[in-house]
């Protein structure tokens, strides 16, 4: 079967398209090799090797798209965004806001193509219709309909990141729908962060603002001065990328992450233990049910677990269950656990003494990319 371009749908020879345009690597950001990864939000990410921060490519784009309308968007993004990426104040003119929003959408869609063909066949990623629709607007240089975009300042350690989170529209008094109705797209480069929101069910679109009070660049109404609003850091990046910063103009309506994509399957009670599905997607592990009862009374704990694939997890109990805060090597998880304020003790369990740390009130809990929430 001939290869098909993800954007225009034409069959033929495909080219290597950078997730971030190759110009990003030439403007003065660090180029030391870093680990690359991709994958589902509720799984440990798939490792893609170590290379330049901006070297990731996909081979799902034809030459006509790559060197045509996509290249034109990259040229505008380079001209407009380079000073802000490097931390220099700037302004996005009204005439440039449509192309910049389209560039964010194009970059997010391209980043989703880093996933494997098998993952996409199993439902991971965005609908093919999103790619075709953006291609149809290539001459307009505007994002898809029912989209809103903002620009902000990032003060974290990532040189580059692209995240897409499926969302549902939650209306007070109604249960959440079974399928996503939109998605958030977040691009971080240097000191710049751009976030977009696309309602894939346009009739549900509602005007949103951000808790960080970021300037809106689409729909375009006035020049957007940068930096403005509150800065974003590493501690708040994942929640921001997950759509938690959106604020609706209608208090009865909220945007929420679509749980099947962002959370693991619910835990279940197994005797005196709780069976907890792990973020590798293959195994489960167990912890004493007594910790759930304590959490319901406002006493929270942290503990470490591991699964059969040798991934280790930092788990913290919260009022609505136990959540995975990090998934990494045994050494890193131990370091994160030891850094938490509190005191360590042991409680009895069906498998013997279970070590945990009783957290002090308002303990800041570190998180690590690739660690999805998991409610018990």
DSSP string computed for 33-68:
-EEEEE--TTSPPEEEEEE-TT--EEEEEEHHHHTT
Q: Find out whether the peptide bond into 270 is cis, omega within 30 degrees of 0.
A: no
Average pLDDT, the chain: 86
With H, G, I as helix, E, B as strand and everything else as coil, classify residue 12.
coil
pLDDT at position 252 is 86
Q: What is the mean pLDDT of residues 106-110?
A: 95
Task: Give buried/exposed letters for 91-117 (b at 16+ CB in 10 A, else e).
Answer: ebeeebbbbbbbbbbbbbbbbbbbbee
Q: What is the mean pLDDT of residues 6-28?
A: 91
pLDDT at position 43 is 45
The per-residue pLDDT for range 18-59, each reduced to its tens digit, is 889 889 989 988 777 665 454 444 444 455 566 677 778 888
Tell me the chain's radius of gyration from C-alpha atoms. 22
Q: Flag whether pLDDT at 364 surpasses 60.
A: no
Q: What is the mean pLDDT of residues 167-184?
A: 86
pLDDT at position 185 is 95
> How far apart, in Å, are the Cα atoms of 115 and each of 48, 83, 214, 290, 333?
10, 31, 30, 39, 26
The per-residue pLDDT for range 335-359, each reduced to its tens digit, is 989 999 999 999 998 888 999 999 9
pLDDT at position 124 is 63
pLDDT at position 326 is 78
Answer yes or no: are the C-beta atoms of 117 and 14 closer than 8 Å: no
Indicate the angle between helix axes 69-85 and 94-112, nearest 10 degrees: 110
With cut-offs at 50, 70 and 90, classify the pLDDT of residue 308: confident
Instruction: Look at 88-92, 137-141, 215-219, 236-240 and tell me which has the smallest mean pLDDT.
Output: 236-240
Q: Residue 281, exposed/middle/buried by CB under 10 A (0-12, 13-18, 19+)? A: middle
The rounded distance, in Å, linking the Cα atoms of 258 and 284 is 22
Q: Flag whether pLDDT at 93 surpasses 80.
A: yes
Q: Flag whether pLDDT at 333 surpasses 60.
A: yes
pLDDT at position 281 is 72
**Which positions ≥6 away from 96 have C-beta within 8 Å?**
76, 80
**Which positions ≥6 away from 368 have C-beta within 8 Å?**
325, 326, 327, 328, 332, 336
The rounded distance, in Å, linking the Cα atoms of 240 and 287 is 30
Q: Flag whether pLDDT at 176 surpasses 50.
A: yes
Q: What are the φ and ψ backbone dihedral angles of 340, each rounded to 5 degrees?
A: -75, 135
Instruction: Look at 32-46, 164-178, 198-212, 354-368 and tell me which has the smallest mean pLDDT.
Output: 32-46
Q: What is the mean pLDDT of residues 321-332?
A: 82
């Amino acid at each position: 079967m001939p290869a098909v371009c993800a954007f225009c749908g034409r069959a033929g020879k495909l080219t290597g398209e950078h997730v971030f345009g190759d110009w990003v690597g030439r403007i003065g950001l660090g180029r030391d090799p870093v680990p690359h990864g991709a994958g589902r939000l509720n799984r440990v990410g798939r490792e893609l090797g170590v290379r330049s921060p901006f070297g990731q490519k996909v081979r799902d784009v034809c030459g006509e798209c790559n060197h045509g309308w996509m290249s034109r968007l990259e040229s505008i993004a380079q001209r407009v965004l380079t000073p802000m990426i490097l931390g220099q104040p700037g302004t996005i003119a009204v005439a440039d806001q449509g192309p910049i929003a389209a560039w964010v959408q194009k970059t997010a869609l391209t980043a989703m193509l880093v996933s494997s063909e098998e993952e996409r066949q199993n439902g991971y990623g965005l609908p093919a219709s999103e790619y075709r629709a953006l291609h149809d607007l290539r001459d307009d240089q505007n994002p898809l309909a029912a989209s809103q975009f903002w620009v902000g300042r990032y003060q974290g350690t990532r040189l580059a990141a692209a995240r897409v989170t499926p969302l549902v529209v939650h209306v007070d008094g109604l249960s959440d729908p079974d399928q996503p109705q939109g998605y958030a797209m977040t691009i971080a480069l240097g000191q710049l962060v751009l976030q977009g929101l696309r309602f894939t069910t346009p009739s549900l679109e509602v005007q949103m603002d951000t808790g960080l009070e970021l300037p809106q660049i689409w729909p375009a109404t006035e020049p957007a001065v940068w930096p403005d609003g509150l800065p974003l850091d590493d501690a708040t990046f994942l929640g921001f990328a997950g759509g938690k910063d959106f604020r609706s103009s209608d208090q009865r309506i909220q945007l929420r992450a679509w749980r099947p994509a962002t959370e693991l399957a619910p835990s279940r009670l197994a005797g005196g233990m709780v069976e907890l599905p792990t973020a590798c997607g293959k195994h489960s592990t167990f912890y004493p049910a007594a910790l759930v009862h304590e959490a319901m009374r406002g006493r929270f704990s942290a503990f470490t677990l591991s699964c059969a694939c040798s991934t280790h997890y930092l788990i913290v109990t919260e009022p609505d269950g136990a959540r995975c805060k990090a998934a990494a090597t045994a050494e890193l998880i131990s370091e994160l656990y030891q850094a938490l304020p509190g005191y360590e003790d042991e409680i009895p369990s069906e498998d013997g003494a279970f070590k945990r740390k009783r957290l002090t009130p308002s303990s800041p809990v570190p998180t690590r990319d690739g660690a999805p929430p998991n409610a018990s």
